[in-house]
Structure 1
Amino acid sequence: MQNDLLIVEDLLLLLLDDETGTPAAAGTLPYTLGGAVLTELALLGRVETGKGSALNGPEIIAAGDGPLPDPLLQAAYDQIAEKPRRVQPLLLAIGGDLWKTVTDRLIERGLIRREKKRVLGLFPVTRLPAADTRRETALREEIRAVLLEDKTPDPHTAAVTALLSASGALPSLRPALAWSAKVYKRAKEIENGNWGASAVNTAVIRTAAGIAASTAAVAVTVATTTT
């Protein structure tokens, strides 16, 4: 499968219910989307993790130079390059406004559509149902093979899977993916960077996995404080 979408775009495509466009794990969505962007920057070698903190997670530091291949990634990188920040506030700083940006991009690509209706003829409601499911179906098959058949994923698929696991959304995706104790264990392995992609530098895997794990920690904290 060609990876012509960003990790954050594929992630949101999977999180959106195909019929209603309602995202799974909506309460922690800004953190999850921010984590997706940071993970992609890590896989590109453009961020590194510094010293950890029990309160706000590891420090994220800009690395490398030159322009990035997408303006969304460039904007996030520029924020990090201004000054190193801890991962928890950075996830929200990057992901706080990404919902609209990424849904607009998915609409432009023809993958979802925007429907505006009125409930009972009075209350305006916006839905984001699927428009073209071929990309999502292919990605689901890749993830299913990784989780159920122990297929070694490419870095992009591994990152999407890790973030789905980190967000806690895997068991509540619609349409549903297979879910079991084995799937949970395998998903956690992916989240922790144990996916055996020898083509990717170990340090890069460690950084990406650290961001996914930090995203999970933030998601748990947010979910706990809002329930």
Structure 2
Amino acid sequence: MPEDLLLLLFQPSSGTIAGENTLFYVLAGAVLADLALGDHLTTADRGRVKTVEGRAPSDDILRSAWDYLSERPRGVQTVLAAIGPPLRKPVLERLVERGDIDRGDRKVLGLFRTTTLKEGGNGRRAGLLGEVRQVLVEGAEPRPRVAALAALLSASGTLPLFHREIPWKSSVITRAKELERGNWGAGAAGEAVTRTVTATVVNSAIMAAAVLPRS
């Protein structure tokens, strides 16, 4: 999920990533949501989260967060601040390696070289955006993974930037806020823990990011 979220936040028209100033919070939120979706993580008392014993993930990025949480239950905001800052680089590397984003370089003022990013040719970003659009605009009942992804995208505060594909209107805002709160529809009835963890993560990410200026 961190890769999918970063890919959605990538803006092909400018070659930049939206919400850079608060990016580490939402990427960390995606890691925790992914752990919850895989039954690696659950809730504890006092709004904390904890690992599920014996359910360590195989993915390196997820495993690092799982190991940190396995020491003891922790508050979500504490976890976001601890695991988020180093995530951008390895997540972006994964996107480049699998061709979702192409990386190159160019000269600035004919002297200095700078790294450039552009959308890869595999269509993955368009597919993800289409799934999110179906949920937010067309009212489709989401799969848990798409619901969590849409909730985190909303929490990032960047949804207005997607107005061409996802019109920024009251019905979209209302639906996004429902997903943030864990209201995913009848089809997610068996995903109670995942919805609870994701809602906790999203709300904590919003509160944590609120104190930072948005890019």
Q: Same fold (TM over 0.5)?
A: yes
Identity of aligned residues (%): 41
More off after superposition, 138-147 vs 117-126? 117-126
State whether structure 2 residue 105 is matched by structure 1 residue 127: no
CA distance in 2, matches of 1:195, 1:149: 14
Structure 1 CA distance for aligned equivalents of residues 95 and 110 of structure 2: 28
Task: Look up the equivalent residue of 2:206 and give its one-letter code.
Answer: A
Q: Partner residue of 1:100?
A: 89
Match of 1:34 in 2: 28
1:109-188 correspondence runs (5 A): 109-173=98-162, 176-188=165-177
In structure 2, how many angstroms separate the alpha carbons of the residues matched to 1:194 and 1:46? 21
Shift of 1:199: 5.4
The Cα offsets for residues 136-171 of structure 1, whole Å up to 9 and x where unpaired, read as 111111111111121011011111100001111111
- Equivalent of 2:44, from 39, 50, 64? 50
Matched, 1:91 2:80: yes
SS in 1 for 2:148: helix
Q: Which runs of 4+ in 1 moved over 4 A?
A: none
| Alpha-carbon distance in 1 for matches of 2:94, 2:162 | 21
CA contact (8 A) 2:12 2:118 kept: yes
Amino acid at match of 1:179: W
CA shift at 1:173, angstroms? Answer: 3.7
Residues 40 and 55 in structure 2, CA contact (< 8 A), matched pair in contact too: no
Q: Which moved more, 1:82-91 or 1:108-117?
A: 82-91
Q: Match of 1:25?
A: 19
Q: Which string of whole-angstrom CA distances, capped at 9 and with x for unpartnered residues, describes residues 39-96 of structure 1?
A: 11112222223344xxxxx322222313314121111101111233222231122121
Q: After the TM superposition, which of the residue ranges 87-96 and 98-107 deviates more from structure 2?
A: 87-96
* Counterpart selection for 1:219 from 205, 209, 215: 209
Contact 1:62 1:80 in 2 (8 A): yes
Inter-partner Cα distance in structure 2 for 1:152 and 1:175: 22
Amino acid at match of 2:18: A
Q: State the SS of the aligned residue for 1:194.
A: coil
Q: How far, CA to CA, are the matches of 1:185 and 1:71 in structure 2?
A: 35
Task: Name the TM-score, length of structure 1 as normaliser.
Answer: 0.86
Query: Which residue matches 1:3?
Result: none
Q: Distance in 1 between matches of 2:165 and 2:206?
A: 20
Q: Is the 8 A contact 1:15 1:173 kept in 2?
A: no
Aligned-pair RMSD on alpha carbons?
2.0
For the Cα contact (< 8 Å) 2:136–2:166, is it kept in 1? no
Secondary structure of the equivalent of 1:127? strand
Distance 2:82 2:132 in 1: 29
Paired residues, what number? 214
Match of 1:201 in 2: 191
**Partner AA of 1:206 in structure 2:** T
Other structure's SS at 1:126 match: strand
Deviation at 1:24, TM superposition (A): 0.9
Using the alignment, how far apart are the partners of 1:71 and 1:40 within structure 2?
13
Shift of 1:19: 3.5
